[in-house]
């Protein structure tokens, strides 16, 4: 018990943590590599997130355009409905054809 207490109180001696220059370089390389890997990972993640967000935006845009397209299709159909066309034709003075004349052509 007393050895342990002694280690706690005096065990941390400066000399034990002194490292040589080669070890320091190696340690720096490892730390640097880790930093680069982490940075790359963060860049990749942020880019993926940005792309994901962009895909979402495009998807939303597709749905929006799809809705607009469908709505316009319906509006065009309403404007050109038989009843509407008939009203307009009558307003312009047109009347249903009563007789048709067929002309027999030759080739």
Residue 91, both tokens: 């307003």
Would residue 71 be called left, alpha or beta, if left means φ above 0 and alpha means ψ between -120 and 50 degrees?
A: alpha
Q: Identify residues 43-82 at the interface with other proteins (CB under 8 A).
A: 45, 48-49, 51-53, 55-56, 59-60, 63, 66-68, 70-71, 73-74, 76-78, 80-82
Q: Identify residues 3-22 at the interface with other proteins (CB under 8 A).
A: 5-6, 8-9
Would residue 5 be called left, alpha or beta, if left means φ above 0 and alpha means ψ between -120 and 50 degrees?
A: alpha
What residue ranges bind other proteins (CB under 8 A)? Answer: 5-6, 8-9, 45, 48-49, 51-53, 55-56, 59-60, 63, 66-68, 70-71, 73-74, 76-78, 80-83, 96-97, 100, 102, 104, 106
């Amino acid at each position: 018990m007393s050895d342990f207490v002694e280690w706690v109180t005096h065990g941390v001696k400066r000399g034990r943590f002194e490292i040589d220059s080669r070890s320091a370089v190696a340690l720096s390389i490892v730390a640097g590599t880790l930093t680069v890997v982490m940075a790359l990972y963060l860049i990749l993640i942020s880019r993926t997130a940005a792309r994901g967000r962009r895909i979402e935006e495009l998807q939303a845009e597709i749905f929006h355009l799809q809705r607009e397209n469908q709505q316009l299709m319906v509006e065009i159909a309403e404007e050109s409905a038989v009843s509407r066309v008939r009203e307009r034709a009558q307003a312009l003075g047109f009347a249903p054809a009563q007789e048709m004349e067929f002309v027999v052509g030759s080739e």
